[in-house]
Amino acid sequence: MELMKYPGMKFVPTDKEIVDHYLVNILNGRIRPGVGGVINDVNIYSFEPWNLPKATRYGIDSETYYITQRKGTGRRVARRAGAGTWKLNGSEKVVTGKGGRVMGHVNHLCYIKDNEKVSSNWVMDEYTLAGDHGSKFDNWAICRIKLNARTEKRNKKQEVQEKKEEAGA
């Protein structure tokens, strides 16, 4: 049964649900990626974000979830993807469970095309497990990728302002 076949149904899990339920159960083999059409098994670092929907069985809506293996270890993770890079944007957020136990982490990233100073409109939340789950899971993450409408509006305003300044100069 695919969740996205039903009108009005949306997949909006909390950070805790993504880490504690989906990521743990996918890595332990209790849930298969792609089941329900909500978390796709794709190496996201092989594609620019705007090309990712072509690589999945399910089309992109406002945001899409992927499980992927990260390149590198620990804090040294290579996030090169196509003609750009996913850059950290802000600090890492801790995902806690019962009793304040640290279950995982969320990193916020933005996609920056090569040779460009400003980020694109693509953003990603990268969910990873805390270190107590075993080293075989260290490089796996669930990533939520979406096109950020606010960033798009801001970039368009900047373009209009630059054109006005060029015209006035």
Tell me what the mean pLDDT of segment 7-11 comes to. Answer: 71
pLDDT single digits (tens) 78-106: 787 888 989 988 888 999 988 888 999 99
Identify the sign of the CA torsion 163, 119, 149, 92: negative
Report phi then psi at 54, rounded to 5.
Answer: -70, -20
Residue 125 has pLDDT above 90, yes or no: yes
Sequence-separated (6 or more) residues with CB below 8 Å from residue 123 = 89, 108, 109, 110, 111, 145, 146, 147, 148, 151
Q: Return the H-helix or E-strand segment holding 167.
A: helix 149-168
pLDDT single digits (tens) 132-163: 655 566 688 999 998 887 655 666 666 677 77
We report the CATH number of the domain holding residue 145 as 2.170.150.80
Please, what is the Cα angle at 156 between 166 and 85, to 5 degrees? 105
* Residues of the domain holding 105: 3-168
Residue 141: name the closest of 105, 111, 112 by CA.
Answer: 105
Instruction: Say how many domains are in the chain.
Output: 1
**37 vs 51, higher pLDDT:** 51
